[in-house]
Amino acid sequence: MWHWQTPAIPVVAALCAAFLPAPADAAVDLNQAFDAAVTIAAEPAWNARLRFVADPAITPALVAFVEPGRCDVAALKNSGFIRASLAQLEPQDQGPYLEGLMAHELGHCAEHHANAGHGVIKAQAAAAGVDSTRAAQQQTLRGELLADIYMGLYLAQRHPDRAERLMQFHLQRRAQSADVDPEHNSARFLRAEQIERRSGESMLQAALRIREAVTRAQ
């Protein structure tokens, strides 16, 4: 996972995951995955859209740019990470997993559009005497945790027969990179079977509840 910031973009949340290696087919597959995810995981008011970038300095894979009334998901056309991820999945699981990654980014949009959590996290960290670097790391991890829960909720609704298996795979990859990327190790808190939406909950409400429960338990 990476975070990339510019003064023109107030919030950026990135997913260090795999994306498609072949430019001829990548746009079609990514567009299909995005369109599927938006139908369940996005609100019309976000004006969510997918755009492609060629510069890995912008994102090595996938990144959400969030502003009021805007949710842009940028995808690197030729990311090498997809080879490591999709090679481990059965062909029938690859499309749903890509949809899940899109839903992850839309989860970042959901939290920031709702203005949920991050300001409170900073204030709590400051009150607890946590330095700014540590507070930023904690904030990043909480954001990634929520987005991964959002991903799991999407998969449970859209692909219930594959959801738990794909989330186990995703969290395993998180754990494998924990030494070099602890800020994105949602597997530290989360198990696939904990991702369950209650009747009447929105996806964001469910994700916030689950995040609070799993972080409070540790």
Whether residue 127 sits in one domain with residue 155: yes
Compute, in degrees rounded to 10, the torsion defined by CA atoms 188, 150, 63, 182.
0
Sequential pLDDT tens for the chain (218 residues): 333 333 333 344 444 433 333 344 445 488 999 999 999 999 998 999 999 988 888 887 888 998 888 899 998 877 777 667 888 999 999 999 999 999 999 999 999 888 644 443 344 444 445 556 777 888 889 999 999 999 999 999 999 999 999 999 999 999 998 888 888 889 999 999 999 999 999 999 999 999 999 999 87
Whether residue 100 sits in one domain with residue 31: yes
| 144, 184 contact by CB (below 8 A) | yes
* SS3 label, residue 162: coil
Whether residue 102 sits in one domain with residue 122: no
Q: How far is CA 188 from the centre of its chain?
A: 16
The domain boundary residue, chosen from 113, 128, 148: 113
- Tell whether 4 is covered by a domain: no
Whether residue 29 sits in one domain with residue 107: yes
Whether residue 203 sits in one domain with residue 125: yes
| 139, 118 contact by CB (below 8 A) | yes
- Tell whether 67 is covered by a domain: yes
Q: Of 121, 103, 100, whose CA–CA distance to 173 is shortest?
A: 100
Total domains in the fold of the chain = 2
Which residues does 78 contact at the CB level (< 8 Å), separation at least 6?
A: 20, 21, 23, 26, 54
| Inter-axis angle of helices 163-176 and 91-113, nearest 10 | 80
The domain boundary residue, chosen from 113, 130, 149: 113
Domain residues for 165? Answer: 118-216
- Tell whether 2 is covered by a domain: no
**Nearest-angstrom CA–CA distance, 180 and 127:** 28
Q: Half-sphere exposure (CA, 13 Å, Cβ side) for 86?
A: 22
Whether residue 122 sits in one domain with residue 109: no
Whether residue 132 sits in one domain with residue 82: no
Q: How far is CA 24 from the centre of its chain?
A: 25
135's tokens: 């507070």
